[in-house]
Amino acid sequence: MEPPAAEDGPSVADAIGGATVFPARIAARVLRGPLETAVEDLLSAPEVGRILDRALSGPLPEELARSMARHQVLDRVVRKLAVDGELERLLDAALASPRTRTLLDQALASDQMRHVVERVAGGPEIRAALAVQSAGFADEVAGGLRETAADLDGRVTLRPSSAPAYAGVVSRGAALVVDALAIVTATVALGAGAALVGALVGGVHPQWLAQLLLSLAAVAVAMGYFSLFWSTAGQTPGMRLLNVRVVMQSDGVRLGPGRALARTVGLALAIIPCFLGFVPALFDSRRRALPDYLAGTVVVYDEGRVR
């Protein structure tokens, strides 16, 4: 008869334990609301607020922070959360929260964020980095253009040059295109200024006179552009970009004002008949065109560059 008694033992114990815990559960459920209210009242009491203020203003927060840093509490918590996957879940939940997006939008639209962005974008470090990057990119583009033009100079010819230092029609043509764009820009700016002045004084009449004056101004700009650069720097901005220079064929020195003007006139004569004035450069051993024959000049690669 002992085995049945052994089987009844746990059931009786469970019944006694349940009967003991049941009143505690009922009491917890009944007192849950009042307890929460009492805790809230206690925390909102002025005396408790003063106690917390004194505690936070004392050495307790610093000591607590030092203790947490000394025992690496935060590091252990973060590592534990990362190992358990809770950290990723918390981050995903925080990023997906509408409240987070709202706070982010408010932060981006705030005056403080705009001020920070302006300070960072306008800082000397950013400007220096952009300047270096832009200069490097421009040098690469210009270098590639020079190499390509110089290579084509040796291909687009009907007679090999006696010296590879002379620039061919491709480099000279590309430089002329760049210079033409600069002249057109200057002419447009001059025309806009003249139109503004004419509007203030009532305009220039008759209409053909205004067009004639504008044409003469364009011719003067072009003549002055080439003459000035050839007589002072020995190369126009377009020629500098293509790394070529015009010099006297006799001694290799820079042109004087008279020679520069004569070469400018020769350039105009070479362009007027559909650029036929540049055809001699395909046959000449020094790649000279009509402007070079008139002024006694040659066009060479700058700084002794050999092709």
Q: 92 lies in which domain range?
A: 18-102
> In 150-263, where do the E strands start and end?
244-248
Please state the domain count of the chain. 2
Nearest to 172 by CA among 270, 261, 255, 273: 270
CA atoms within 13 A on the CB side of 228: 9
- Domain-located, residue 164: yes
Q: What is the pTM of this model?
A: 0.56
| Same domain membership, residue 233 and residue 147 | yes
**Vertex 100 angle, CA 96 and 101, to 5°:** 80
**150-191 residue pLDDT tens:** 888 888 877 765 566 899 999 999 999 999 999 999 999 988
| Same domain membership, residue 292 and residue 164 | yes
Partners of 110 in the beta sheet?
none
| Same domain membership, residue 138 and residue 239 | yes
**263-304 residue pLDDT tens:** 999 999 999 999 999 999 998 889 999 999 999 999 999 864
| Same domain membership, residue 157 and residue 238 | yes
Confidence (pLDDT) at 269: 95
Confidence band for 224, pLDDT divided at 50, 70 and 90: very high
- Domain-located, residue 256: yes
| Same domain membership, residue 218 and residue 150 | yes
- Domain-located, residue 111: no
